Amino acid sequence: MRFRPPQLPQARKDGYIYTRNTNPTVHAFEEKVRLLEGAEASTSFSTGMAAISNTLFTLLSPGNRVVSLKDTYGGTSKIFMEFLPRFQVQVTLCDTTDHEAIEATMPEGCQLLYLESPTNPTLKVIDLARLAAAGRKVGAIVVVDNTFATPINQSPLDLGAHLVIHSATKFLGGHADALGGVVCGAEDLVERIFHFGEINGASLDPMAAYLLLRGMKTLHLRIRQQNESALKIARYLEKHPFV
């Protein structure tokens, strides 16, 4: 669902009043991704990085600590290394595939565990279920960037995540002609992220939402073919004498 702002006393009716807050085409895109991810709620943004940054700045406060990976997407890493420390948020980046190190550092304090698998662009894969369980054990909010896997190949919410993020610019859209981002997951968390986003203004443009909806009609076909092609290439290279 898309969260609508509380009605002010002078408001005369509910509905789509102002597109920065709510829009029917944008809502249709959010609902489609929500259903694909099996989430309680979803909200969208103008880009994938807008979805990531709004999520982080909504859920983290000065004095908090976030634990993540060294191989996250470049823009995400920039937020971790440059921007969050300016707001007195402590960031610990662990070797991406060292699950033991990630688990060992969380009991020292962790309000948010941010994961990405496969990573962009290094394509490293981590055990999301194992790390999500460890994050929940210490009371952390577990966020997973599912952009590269897509809902066709992976369901982070079923593996223990509280929130899942997509840069819809990539596989969801599929045509390289629209920017967008989306966050899905627990309703109470998504409602907070939506409110932060609507006030700070990184709203998804309705035309971009339309283009993303068009692209998602072929998502399952594109991902299926990409999976088959990648497996054939991998099997060929595995047997090649020069590899």
Mean pLDDT of 182-190: 98
List, for residues 221-231, the tens digit of each pLDDT value: 999 999 999 99
Mean pLDDT of 91-119: 97
pLDDT at 6 over 80: no
Mean pLDDT of 60-66: 98
Helix (H, G, I), strand (E, B) or coil at 94: strand
Q: Identify the active-site residue in 70, 170, 192, 214.
A: 170
The overall average pLDDT reported for the chain is: 95
Residue pair 111/138 in contact by the 8 Å Cβ criterion: no
pLDDT grade for 11, boundaries at 50, 70 and 90: low
> How many contiguous H segments (helices) and E segments (strands) does the chain have?
9, 7
Residue pair 81/216 in contact by the 8 Å Cβ criterion: no
User: Would you say residue 7 lies in a domain?
Assistant: no
User: What is the structure's pLDDT at 169?
Assistant: 97
Q: For residue 100, give the CATH number of its domain.
A: 3.40.640.10
User: Would you say residue 14 lies in a domain?
Assistant: no
Mean pLDDT of 204-209: 98
Q: 20 an active-site residue?
A: yes
User: Would you say residue 3 lies in a domain?
Assistant: no
Q: Identify the active-site residue in 2, 32, 114, 145.
A: 145
φ, ψ of residue 93 in degrees (nearest 5): -105, 120
User: Would you say residue 4 lies in a domain?
Assistant: no
Q: Identify the active-site residue in 32, 34, 71, 73.
A: 73
pLDDT at 63 over 90: yes
Q: 4 an active-site residue?
A: no
- Dihedral over alpha carbons 40, 211, 203, 47 (to 10 degrees): 90
User: Would you say residue 227 lies in a domain?
Assistant: no
> How far lies 48's CA from each of 21, 98, 233, in Å?
18, 26, 29
List, for residues 120-178, the tens digit of each pLDDT value: 999 999 999 999 999 999 999 999 999 999 999 999 999 999 999 999 999 999 999 99
Q: Identify the active-site residue in 18, 20, 98, 158.
A: 20
Q: 214 an active-site residue?
A: no
pLDDT at 16 over 90: no
Q: What angle do CA 139, 85, 92 make, to 5 degrees?
A: 50
Mean pLDDT of 191-212: 97
User: What is the structure's pLDDT at 14?
Assistant: 74
User: What is the structure's pLDDT at 12?
Assistant: 60
Q: 192 an active-site residue?
A: no
List, for residues 67-102, the tens digit of each pLDDT value: 999 999 999 999 999 999 999 999 999 999 999 999
Mode of pairing for the β-strands spanning 65-69 and 90-94: parallel
Mean pLDDT of 49-61: 98
Number of domains in the chain: 1
User: Would you say residue 54 lies in a domain?
Assistant: yes
Q: Which two tokens stand for residue 224?
A: 């299926």
User: Would you say residue 6 lies in a domain?
Assistant: no
Which domain does 76 fall in, by range?
24-218
Rounded Cα distance, 142 and 163, in Å: 6
User: Would you say residue 2 lies in a domain?
Assistant: no
Radius of gyration of the chain (CA): 19
